[in-house]
Amino acid sequence: MTISFHDLSKMTRTARDQLLKRSEADLAEFEEKVKPIIFAVKTEGDAAVARFARQFDKAPVEADALAATDEDFARAENTLDQQVREALEFMAVSIRKFHEDQKPHEMWFHEIRPGVFAGDRTTAIPSVACYIPRGKGAFPSSVLMQAIPAKVAGVKEICIITPPGPDGRIDDATLVAARMAGVSKVFKAGGAQGIAAVAYGTETIPRCSKVVGPGSPWVGAAKRLVSHLIDVGTPAGPSELIVLADETADGRLAGLDLIIESEHGPDSSAFLVTWSRKVAEDAMAAIPEFWKQMGEQRVSYSSTVLEGPMGGIVLARDEEEAIAFCNDYAPEHLGVHSDEPFQYLGRLQNAGEILLGRHTPPTLGNFVIGVNHVLPTSGWAKTGSPLTVYDFMKRTSVAYVTGKAYPELAKHAEVISRYEGFDGHANAVSETRAMLLRTNR
């Protein structure tokens, strides 16, 4: 096994640009396959959702059994391992506290100039569907990361859609996490059919205003095709990580962290970026030893990433070149390994999250710190943000002008209106309005 090694000092601009590319597939081919699925759900409702669960998930699901029942929740509560429950409860407390602190004031209203008041009122969106993937495992943590911020924001209608397991059931931890988050509507609806179901609504699954959460290319393609019907949020693709390490870092720890996101799947991306050859060499030597402590499937995923073009070691000439590479890449997760990690924070501009220091591995960010692990990928961190309470809220502008302040504003507004050719706009703030206002005194 040989970890990929990329020396920026010996790379052409084209070769460097290749490192910035993600493994996310072109969705065009998936869109063609997804179109008939979406149409079937639109026209057939529950029957189509159940049929595709049987076809794609190989799960014995019938149209009249898409929703989790009280019995399902009770079984999950009784059978889930106590340690798992305690870990989820710990996680839920952190997530709720972080997002409560993040929640904006309901309204601000300032006097912009004498007699002119303006502000924003923030209210929750009416409904949201949280998509919880299951292709490479069960992810109850994603339930808490999505549903708790929605609850904190004040969303009235929250549902969870997730693929059923081979037994036709919803994962026990997913159901327990849903109840912890205060969500009782959980549906066996994964893939493109799940996205179509919440975009159109079926006999069982409600139509929603928004859908959040990561998924497969099938999910991504479906979101794109129904984006005129439902808010699909920021795209979330395969996992990606950069570990930025200076000469004070322990290369073994950097390598240990590099494995975290690389084990998500063979389409993940993970780079250790450093200007210290010793740190790079120590990491390369340690990673194969760490693989010996992991299961076969996760080693397969991680080694595919770290031995391929989408992962490995990136050796920079100096810290400026390393930081520039990180900002150009705009990773989902960015870990900083240094005795003084805060010295780099001001120069790191583009990342879904920045995890500072050797005691802050991505594992903690993914699960228990409280920051959200639904993050922008594929370079979207240059303009996008982590999932927050803001994703479940909307702002409405509010304004009020006093009679004393009105004339000056009207004068300038009329000039602009006439310049831009809007007669109705201009008339509404002209002498015509002034005359009508005088008659209403």
111 is catalytic: no
| Bridging pattern class, strands 240-245 and 211-212 | unpaired
Q: 262, 306 in Cβ contact below 8 A?
A: yes
332 is catalytic: yes
Alpha-carbon distance of 20 to 375, in angstroms, equals 18
Enumerate the H helices of 168-250 as residue ranges: 172-181, 191-200, 217-225
- Amino acid letter, 380: W
- Active-site entry in 240, 263, 332, 414: 332
Q: 370, 379 in Cβ contact below 8 A?
A: no
User: Left if phi > 0, otherwise alpha if psi is -120 to 50, otherwise beta: which for 313?
Assistant: beta
Enumerate the H helices of 210-267 as residue ranges: 217-225, 251-262
Alpha-carbon distance of 114 to 117, in angstroms, equals 8
Instruction: For residue 320, give the 3-state DSSP assignment.
Output: helix
Q: 131, 162 in Cβ contact below 8 A?
A: yes
- Active-site entry in 6, 333, 337, 373: 333
Q: 168, 66 in Cβ contact below 8 A?
A: no
Alpha carbon dihedral 227, 157, 169, 365, in 10-degree steps, equals 80
Contacts of 192 (CB under 8 A, 6+ apart): 34, 37, 38, 52, 218, 219, 221, 222
Alpha-carbon distance of 196 to 222, in angstroms, equals 7
Q: 124, 153 in Cβ contact below 8 A?
A: yes
Written as six digits, the tokens of 173 are: 């931890």
Distance of CA 345 to the CA centre of its chain: 22
Strand partners, 177: none
H or E element at residue 118: strand 116-124
Q: List active site positions.
A: 332-333
